[in-house]
Structure 1
Amino acid sequence: MRVIIGGIPGVGKTTVLNALTSKGFRVENYGDSMLRVAVSLNYAANRDELRKLPLWKQKEVQRLAAESLSKFESVIVDTHFCVQTDGGYLPGLPPYVLEILKPDLFISIEADPLEIFERRKKDTNRRRDNDSLEKIRQHMEINRGYGINYSAMTGSPFLIVMNENDRVAEATLKIEAVLKPSTGDK
């Protein structure tokens, strides 16, 4: 099963994905895959350079990264459904990427906007935007909209998993239950 998991910064996506990795699930970060491709083609040495590539090179890198991820029959792809830029929100998974990946399921990891706001303030390890509660709420709604759109484009289900403070285990179990459904009669 190929699953794509997205969530806005501060929602706890990395924490949930680390928990899934520790349970034996294969998790691949789409951005890391893109960087590996860009480095192998001598297009970029880091993510900053990757973002500054001409659009045609970025699309080539996206396509090649998707092709490398599509070789896994069972994988969770860690990505952003949309990317917030100064010029608006960009799709994280353009149609040509979805056609290559052929995902079976989309999962949006979400949290209460106030919790996200507080998490971002406490997280000194990452450079986070100082968005207002309203901006966080808007970004999460737009992210969800992109995920629903991808679901409609591919015919694959869309699931929302809440990652509330101190409840990572619950979020992880909900995802695990979908990925490893019980085989018993009910």
Structure 2
Amino acid sequence: MTDRIIAITGVPGSGKTTVLKNAISKAPNVSVVNFAEVMLSVGAELGLGSDHDAIRTQPLDVQRDLQKKAAEKIAKDSKGVTIVDTHATIKTSAGYLPGLPQWILSALNPSTIVIVESSPKDINFRRKMDKSRSRDDEGEAGIELHQSLNRAITLAYSASSGATVKIITNEQNKLEEASKELLDLFGGNK
């Protein structure tokens, strides 16, 4: 198995992590790293908080430093096929923060960047049902904008890094189809 990193992205509520978990259950030799969890670990070590919302509200220079440290750790620890569960952009109080800026792309060197998308209506519903997180209410128009920005910035990431881009649509009640597309991508369906 060739060493390679695949970044998987999607706006919160797109079902990215659910699609990933379903696909990985059929490919035990593929490892998964959650970028945000690595950032949380680094942030906790630095005394910046230990939950997603504490990190998300840090000043941008702090978030950028955490991103860089997380990417370097992931790249150093990766063996075989590694899927990095991350975001193309992160909505912050100062605007949208690139999830894979050049210093991250250089450290990770992904072969492919996957975008998992769902309808804004489905994403909005999922977010409202998820009581485990404190999220800003973007509404369907905001979600649509966020997904459009993710497509645009991912193409820029691709142009900069040479990674291919794969868009997987996670339609309601079609988890198996979306998971199979991902599984086929990393060769786990042989």
Counterpart residue number, 1:11: 14
- Cα 1:168–1:43, aligned 2, differ >3 Å: closer, same or farther? same
| Partner residue, 2:48 | 44
Q: Is the 8 A contact 2:89 2:97 kept in 1?
A: yes
Distance change (3 Å), C-alpha of 1:43 and 1:115: same
Deviation at 1:127, TM superposition (A): 2.9
| CA positional deviation for 1:125 | 3.3
The Cα offsets for residues 49-107 of structure 1, whole Å up to 9 and x where unpaired, read as: 43455555443332221111112132111111101123221111111111011110000
Specify which of 139, 151, 154 is matched with residue 144 of structure 1. Answer: 151
* TM-score (normalised: structure 1): 0.87
Amino acid at match of 1:67: E
Question: Which of the numbers 91, 96, 99 marks the counterpart of 1:89?
Answer: 96
Q: Please list every run of 5 or more consecutive structure 1 residues that lacks an aligned counterpart in the other structure.
A: none
Q: Deviations over 1:6-52 (max 9, x none)?
A: 10111111211221332223111111111212333x33241354345
State the Cα deviation string for residues 101-158 of structure 1 (Å, max 9, x = none): 1110000000112222222233333333322221111111011111111111101100
Residues paired across the two proteins, number:
182
The alignment-based identity, stated in percent, is 36
Which residue of 1 is the match for residue 134 of structure 2?
127
Pick the aligned partner of 1:21 from 21, 24, 43.
24
CA contact (8 A) 1:5 1:106 kept: yes
- Relative to structure 2, which stretch is displaced further, 128-137 or 107-116? 128-137
| Map of 2:172 onto structure 1 | 165
Using a 3 Å threshold, how does the CA distance of structure 1 residues 19 and 39 change in structure 2: closer, same or farther? same
Q: Which of structures 1 and 2 has the bigger CA Rg?
A: 1
Q: Check 1:49–1:12 CA distance in 2 against 1; reply closer, same or farther (3 A cut).
A: closer
